[in-house]
């Protein structure tokens, strides 16, 4: 089943950013919705989405909110 998920994350730590340059340029918070299969990895989707948006891959983050908005038919 496909679902739509609201994701609010903060405290993003970017890969290969020991001095915080990427954090200063792109920030460390994001809010977005994703459409995904229930069986997909949300972690992988978040990493791919942020890399596509910024050109940099996140290493870790904290969830502020994460919930299913609806099931898609």
- For 19-66, write each residue's pLDDT tens digit: 999 999 999 999 999 999 999 999 999 999 999 999 999 999 999 999
**pLDDT score of 73:** 84
Confidence band for 9, pLDDT divided at 50, 70 and 90:
very high
**pLDDT score of 27:** 94
Q: Report the DSSP pairing between strands 30-37 and 58-72.
A: unpaired
Give the burial string for 52-65 (b: 16+ CB within 10 Å, else e): eebebebeebeeee
**pLDDT score of 6:** 98
């Amino acid at each position: 089943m496909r679902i739509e998920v609201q994701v609010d994350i903060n405290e993003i730590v970017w890969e290969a950013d020991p001095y915080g340059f990427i954090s200063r340029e792109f920030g460390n918070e994001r809010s977005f919705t994703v459409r995904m299969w229930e069986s997909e990895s949300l972690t992988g989707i978040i990493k791919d989405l942020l890399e596509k948006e910024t050109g940099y891959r996140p290493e870790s983050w904290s969830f502020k909110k994460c919930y299913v908005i609806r099931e898609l038919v």
